[in-house]
Amino acid sequence: MDYATIKLLHQSSVALSGLGFAVRGIASLRGAQWTQSRLAKSLPHVVDSVLLLSAVTLAAMLHLNPAHAPWLMAKLLGLLLYIGLGIVALRPRFGWKTRATAWVLALVVLAWIATVAVLKNPWGFIAILLQASA
């Protein structure tokens, strides 16, 4: 596959993963039982695997090393934070307020990761906010 196709696959996976997380989060917070089903727990792993594989492929095609590309390192660290917040948001054992807070914060982190990718700036949308306030 060529670069443009893999980039489109990656961007589509990001959108599908984020949308899926947003919907599952709302449903989980409302107590929907389907969020605990095998499919609801397995399908996101398939989407996220495509997302991760396309990301690694793009980085390899561009010869990017997170140690030498601060924006890519920021994305990776943001991904770890997003995963941690997502775990809290979707696990029923945590209290509703904790889960709701984690869900909102995870969506903010996801938006930040996306802006880091678009801007190639490790600050992401924070850089835009800082420029606007200056």
Q: Does the pLDDT of residue 41 top 80, yes or no?
A: yes
Place of tokens 């996976």: 13
Region 92-117: mean pLDDT is: 97
Q: Which residue has the tokens 């140690």?
A: 67
Instruction: Compute the distance between CA of residue 50 and CA of residue 10 in angstroms, rounded to an integer.
Output: 8
Residue where the block lists tokens 């984690």: 102
List of E strands, 17-112? none
Tens digit of each residue's pLDDT (9 = 90 or more) over 1-27: 899 999 999 999 999 999 999 999 999
Helical residues (DSSP H) of the chain, grouped into ranges:
3-29, 38-61, 70-90, 96-119, 125-133
User: What does the domain layout of the chain look like in residue ranges?
Assistant: 3-133
Task: Look at residue 1 in the predicted model and tell me its pLDDT.
Answer: 85
